[in-house]
């Protein structure tokens, strides 16, 4: 089964064609990072306009790659899918309407997809992963631990009570003067720093909760102690990264044990983080099986959307009337 996916929930315009939920036929991503860099974050109105400018080019390129490399034509596609939410509504509407229009033109089904479930499905791409497993989902907008009992049976068993992981990475980076999007830059600098130099606090919350706002404040306090030119950026980054990744992995491991599941996987933009991946893969020495999406499938992409349309679509009698939603 060939599914065409479109992703436009935030600042990436992306399209992909995926076979049977796992095999990548074509995968195109146009990032808006350069546009939003000047504003220090994503400006929703600007993002929606950029999606409008990019969508036709990205869709055409996706079809062209499929034709050139696999001799697959638009008529061979079995269904068209897109992210329905959560995300920026003005942005979501661009992808949603493009996918619905394609499904009407080619007389194929339209399938709506939840963005968070799509991030989980990024682990099925080019891999043999099967449920049951525990998934740590860490993105710009969410931090959750999800118990995936079957492809379409998922339950959130922990989540953040304040900032999301990607959000706190970006905010901490900003405090240190790193430009947007700071998460990836903070990760790079952390690899050059001393992770034992600053002891950042771990929030005392319930086993099914995360809280990162105190960590953000602690970074601010340290930054304020130094003159700008003397700021030990690498050491702050390394100490911050050590605290947040150990909190995330320890809690995930505990809940995996509690639910008696030995397979742990990562997903979401922050799944690209070097230390988080290292700590996850270290669990293999402790009897766990671990998976993380390939780097290109961590941050927003449409391959995961098409995979999710195959494995875990939003159920609806008439999916053409599905509407965009901003929050989960
Ligand atoms: O999943 P994603 O592309 O968008 C959302 O659905 O939110 O995640 C984007 C987030 C941003 O906050 C970005 O800074 C963060 O993922 N991120 C990272 C890394 N790469 C991306 N955070 C830490 N380390 C990284 N290597
Ligand atoms: Zn995302």
pTM: 0.95
Which residue has its alpha carbon closest to ligand 1 atom 12?
166
Banded model confidence at residue 291, pLDDT cuts 50, 70, 90: very high
Helix 165-175 with 182-190: angle, nearest 10 deg: 70
The Cα–Cα gap between 206 and 215 comes to: 16
The string of DSSP codes covering 41-52 is: S--HHHHHHHHH
Closest CA to 155 of 204, 113, 203, 120: 120
Instruction: Kindly give the number of the ligand 1 atom that is closest to the alpha carbon of 115.
Output: 6
**C-alpha Rg value of the chain to the nearest Å:** 20
- What is the tens place of the pLDDT at every residue in 22-62? 999 999 999 887 777 878 788 898 899 999 999 999 999 99
User: Average pLDDT of the chain?
Assistant: 96
- Report how far ligand 2's centroid is from the alpha carbon of 232 (Å): 31
pLDDT of amino acid 285: 97
Which helix (DSSP H) or strand (DSSP E) does residue 135 occupy? strand 133-138
292 lines ligand 1 (CB under 6 A): no
193 lines ligand 1 (CB under 6 A): no
For range 162-168, the mean pLDDT = 96
85 lines ligand 1 (CB under 6 A): no
pLDDT of amino acid 134: 98
- Report how far ligand 2's centroid is from the alpha carbon of 201 (Å): 27
- Report how far ligand 2's centroid is from the alpha carbon of 318 (Å): 26
231 pLDDT exceeds 90? yes
Q: Is 153 helix (H, G, I), strand (E, B) or coil?
A: strand
């Amino acid at each position: 089964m060939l599914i065409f996916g479109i992703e436009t929930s935030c600042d990436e315009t992306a399209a992909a064609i995926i076979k049977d939920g796992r095999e990548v036929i074509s995968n195109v991503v146009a990032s808006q990072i350069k546009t939003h860099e000047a504003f220090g974050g994503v400006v929703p109105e600007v993002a929606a306009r950029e999606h409008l400018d990019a969508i036709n080019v990205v869709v055409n390129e996706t079809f062209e790659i499929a034709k050139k490399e696999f001799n697959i034509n638009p008529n061979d596609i079995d269904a068209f899918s897109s992210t329905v939410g959560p995300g920026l509504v003005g942005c979501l509407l661009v992808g949603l309407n493009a996918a619905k229009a394609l499904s009407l033109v080619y007389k194929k089904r339209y399938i709506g997809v939840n963005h968070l479930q799509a991030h989980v499905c990024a682990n099925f791409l080019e891999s043999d992963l099967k449920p049951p497993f525990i998934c740590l989902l860490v993105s710009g907008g969410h931090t959750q631990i999800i118990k995936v009992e079957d492809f379409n049976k998922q339950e959130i068993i922990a989540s953040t009570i304040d900032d999301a992981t990607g959000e706190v990475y970006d905010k901490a980076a900003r405090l240190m003067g790193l430009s947007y999007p700071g998460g990836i830059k903070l990760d790079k600098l952390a690899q050059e720093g001393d992770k034992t130099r600053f002891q950042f606090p771990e929030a005392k919350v319930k086993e099914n909760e995360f809280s990162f706002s105190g960590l953000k404040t602690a970074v601010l306090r340290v930054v304020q102690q130094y003159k700008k030119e003397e700021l030990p950026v690498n050491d702050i980054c390394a100490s911050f990264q050590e605290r947040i990744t150990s909190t995330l992995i320890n809690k995930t491991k505990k809940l995996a044990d509690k639910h008696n599941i030995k397979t742990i996987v990562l997903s979401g933009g922050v799944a690209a983080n070097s230390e988080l991946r290292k700590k996850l893969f270290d669990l293999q020495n402790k009897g766990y099986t671990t998976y993380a999406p390939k780097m290109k499938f961590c941050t927003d992409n449409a391959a995961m959307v098409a995979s999710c349309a195959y494995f875990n679509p939003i159920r609806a009698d008439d999916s053409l009337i599905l509407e965009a939603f901003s929050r989960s």
